[in-house]
Amino acid sequence: MGKFTDKLINAPIALTFGDVVLLPSRSDVEPREVDLTTNITVNIKANIPIVSSPMDTVTEAEMAIALARLGGLGVIHRNCSREEQVELVKQVKKAPVLPVKYIYIKASSTVEEAHKMLLKLNIEALPVVDSNGLFLGYFKHNSAIRADDKDLVARYAVKGEVIKREELLKVSKTNPKDSLAIIDNDGKYWGIIDNGSCNNYSPLIDDKGRLRVGAAISPYDLNRAKMLEKWVDVLVVDVAHFHNLNCIKAAKKLLREISVDIVVGNIGTYEACEDILTMLENVAGLRVGIASGSICSTGIVTGVAAPTLFAVANVRDALEDYGALHIPIIADGGIKSPGDAAKALAAGASAIMLGRALAGTDEASSPLIPIGSRLYKLYRGMGSKSALAKRYSADRYSPPSKKIAEGVEGLVPYRGPVANVIEEFRAGLQAALGYVGARNIRELWVKAKFARLTSIGLKEVHPHDLLMSL
């Protein structure tokens, strides 16, 4: 038998999510007891193992803010100018750590207007703010019983308890009144706590009490990295094939000159991880998976792929063999459901990266598109023709590939607030770990057992033999 025939016959099977299931085990773990905290990078521990993909139709400031409030991490895309990306990151850092409602009345408003607003909003007190944005006090029903309806609100503003912006997270846990004003150190008004949603949040914050955020970079753009370094918590090297000597050489300079955590990728093989571990120092995380994304066409255009589940297992083996288990794996691509996420984590990942699953949400950075009676959002790969046309993402792919698109674009159904999607993944992961008998992700790595499916088995584990509702 010739060597080329041998390559085919003895080729490894690149299993991915639809090829396997996790087996149930004896368990004394209830889903509510499962702890999903995990290291996204060597130095950043998140409350949920979810990272958003740095795609220009997925992650800008609004998505990053929402995800950080929910305990995960948003990674701002780089398909924009350096200045624009820095501004997006700044917006995240300046955002309140919990949702707030911007309810107030101007000091120049009348008592009649204030009474109407109190009744409409059904709250006890209304923050009064002057023309410079300074908080003056509260207007209450009983503050102006004898007031003339045409009197100005400022005359009846009374002092009361407030929340300092930096203490928002701590104070929110005591369930304060929903009309309690939030102010900064200069006395400027920021809003009132949105008590209706506080219980759903467990924000990922930095040592200054601000939301954490990541940003994507090219390994060749040191200037962009230095501009972002002052604001971000982690930089994510964003290339389709990091296992390239030019990328590794450029990343070596980045790692030497940049102080924040740097995640490198994408990679898909044992050998890629091996070269990173032996050629680079201070890598804070690995982004793993090649050509599995729903809008990635690399596998068709080039015939090259490393499906995410297969890639994660290979890279995890390398980390174990080299004693580098402190370096987290972020599984990237093809994760459509909480079940896929559970399989990725069981194969050795510490976190998962979501693109399509988040692309249809309110916070995704593309407009709503009505078609008939349904709503959709645009979703495109960073190797699609329209994304490459902006040129900022062109070096994500090797120079010869710039002449051919390695991604597509299309529409995804509207899914509402991103909090709904994150809750679905959180609950699904907790249930999966409960079946396996794992109390946390580290236990999942040890206890999880896989079984391979036949094509008939794959059909059987999906809903079947009924008319599905639309």
Q: Which residue numbers are catalytic?
A: 296, 396
Roughly what angle, to the nearest 10 degrees, separates helices 82-94 and 61-69? 30
Asked whether the bond before 43 is cis by omega within 30 degrees of 0, the reply is no
Report d(CA 362, CA 164) in Å as an integer: 29
Q: How many CB atoms lie within 10 A of CB 303?
A: 8
Report d(CA 125, CA 114) in Å as an integer: 10
Task: Work out the end-to-end distance of the chain between its first and last CA atoms, rounded to an integer number of angstroms.
Answer: 53
Q: Containing H/E element for 419?
A: helix 418-436
CB-CB contact of 269 with 314 (8 Å) = yes
Report d(CA 142, CA 3) in Å as an integer: 90
Say how many residues make up the chain. Answer: 470
Q: Helix or strand or coil: residue 344?
A: helix
Which are the contacts of 16, defined by CB distance < 8 A and separation ≥ 6? 292, 307, 308, 309, 310, 334
Neighbour-count burial for 149-160, b at 16+ CB within 10 Å, e otherwise = eeebbbebbeee
Bridge partners for 409 per DSSP: 380
Report d(CA 65, CA 59) in Å as an integer: 10
Report d(CA 189, CA 185) in Å as an integer: 10
Q: How is 91-123 classified by DSSP, letter by letter?
A: HHHHS-SS-EE---EETTSBHHHHHHHHHHHT-
Report d(CA 409, CA 404) in Å as an integer: 14
Report d(CA 314, CA 295) in Å as an integer: 24
Report residue 427 as tokens: 């609950």
Q: Helix or strand or coil: residue 411?
A: strand
Neighbour-count burial for 335-362, b at 16+ CB within 10 Å, e otherwise = beebbbbbbbbbbbbbbbbbbbbbbbbb
**Which burial class, exposed, middle or buried, applies to 442 when counting CB atoms under 10 A from its CB (0-12, 13-18, 19+)?**
middle
Bridge partners for 452 per DSSP: 20
Bridge partners for 262 per DSSP: 235
